[in-house]
């Protein structure tokens, strides 16, 4: 197969790393599993060994043809679909999700997956190394960003291992990393699901002007600035704090009182 640049295809060609990703999955053979973007089947061949039945979603028809030839007969289902519009309910909940994500839409896939809330039990994704580091970055870290707060709302992200450029075809210019999130029992207990979008919109506003203090980034006038400063102080946050200094629970407290 010739990789398609417009799909961001970088095929994993090292069985050692593929097996390592599959072995890291925190699920049993009886659980529902979805692989995103199987490509030439580097992960799929090991998924087939471990899981008697699993699903894959792939947008590239040529990749699907090559994948099914590689896998042969078996109890697996390949959905020819764009993952960004694919309804995960077709696979069955609760669901574990794994994939080597395209760099260009990795963040969108992560957001889409996590918005299913408690219906997702775990995510194990390979992304650009800098993105993974941002996701797992703790408060007060210079690499912390919107995705750090977004992902930590749903569970505890952890970095598993780094993957060098040489094990992909074509070879990317950056390193990749595999991270994993075990989803909390019910994220909606922290905040009703209907409020997730406005909550994350507030967090996004804070990080859009990350060099500013939180009180300045979120305020439109002096009155609101004083109110936000008072809320932060009540929850033990210095009014000089920037967005990366707040953990997810502090963002939640701020949202509940501001909005």
Residue range 44-56: average pLDDT?
Answer: 96
Percent of the chain whose predicted confidence (pLDDT) is above 90: 89
Which residues, in sequence order, are bridge partners of residue 158? 180
Which pLDDT score, from 0 to 100, does residue 9 have? 78
Give the pLDDT of residue 10. 87
> Does residue 237 carry a pLDDT above 80?
yes
| Mean per-residue pLDDT of the chain | 95
* Structure-model confidence comparison of residues 9 and 230, the more confident one: 230
What is the Cα–Cα distance from 94 to 192, expressed in whole angstroms?
19
Is residue 95 within 8 A of residue 121, CB to CB? The reply is yes
Tokens of 255: 């949202």
Per cent of the chain over pLDDT 70 is: 100
> What is the set of domains in the chain, with CATH numbers?
5-187 (3.40.50.150), 193-258 (1.10.8.100)
- Determine the Cα–Cα distance for residues 96 and 150; give it in Å rounded to an integer: 18
| Residue 1: pLDDT band with limits 50, 70, 90 | low
**Region 167-171: what's the mean pLDDT?**
92
Residue-wise pLDDT for 173-221, tens only, equals: 999 999 999 999 999 999 999 999 999 999 999 999 888 999 999 998 8
State yes or no: pLDDT of 115 exceeds 90: yes
Averaged pLDDT, 140-160 = 97
State yes or no: pLDDT of 134 exceeds 80: yes
Beta strand ranges found along the chain (DSSP E): 11-12, 32-36, 54-58, 76-80, 95-100, 120-128, 155-163, 168-169, 176-183
pLDDT of residue 58: 96
Angle among Cα 36, 39, 40 to the nearest 5 degrees reads 140
- Please tell me the predicted confidence (pLDDT) of residue 130: 97
Q: Band of the pLDDT at 63, cuts 50, 70, 90? A: very high
119: pLDDT strictly greater than 90: yes
């Amino acid at each position: 197969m010739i990789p398609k640049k417009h799909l961001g295809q970088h095929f994993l060609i090292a069985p050692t790393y593929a097996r390592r990703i599959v072995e890291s999955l925190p699920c049993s053979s009886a659980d529902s599993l979805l692989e995103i973007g199987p490509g030439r089947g580097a992960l799929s061949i090991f998924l087939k060994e471990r899981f008697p039945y699993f699903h894959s979603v792939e947008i590239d028809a040529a990749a699907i043809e090559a994948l099914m030839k590689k896998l042969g007969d078996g109890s697996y289902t390949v959905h020819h679909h764009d993952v960004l519009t694919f309804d995960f309910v077709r696979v069955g909940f609760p669901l574990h999700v794994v994939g080597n994500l395209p760099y260009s839409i990795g963040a969108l896939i992560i957001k889409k997956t996590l918005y299913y809330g408690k219906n997702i039990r775990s995510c194990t994704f390979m992304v650009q190394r800098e993105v993974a580091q941002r996701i797992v970055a703790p408060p007060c870290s210079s690499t912390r960003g919107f995705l750090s707060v977004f992902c930590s709302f749903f569970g505890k992200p952890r970095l598993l291992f780094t993957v060098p450029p040489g094990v992909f075809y074509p070879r990317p210019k950056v390193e990749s990393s595999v991270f994993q999130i075990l989803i909390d029992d019910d994220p909606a207990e922290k905040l009703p699901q209907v409020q997730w979008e406005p909550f994350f919109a507030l967090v996004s506003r804070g990080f859009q002007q990350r060099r500013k203090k939180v009180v300045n980034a979120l305020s439109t006038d002096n009155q609101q600035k004083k109110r936000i400063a008072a809320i932060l102080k009540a929850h033990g946050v210095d009014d000089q704090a920037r967005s990366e200094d707040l953990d997810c629970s502090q963002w939640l407290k701020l949202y509940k009182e501001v909005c």
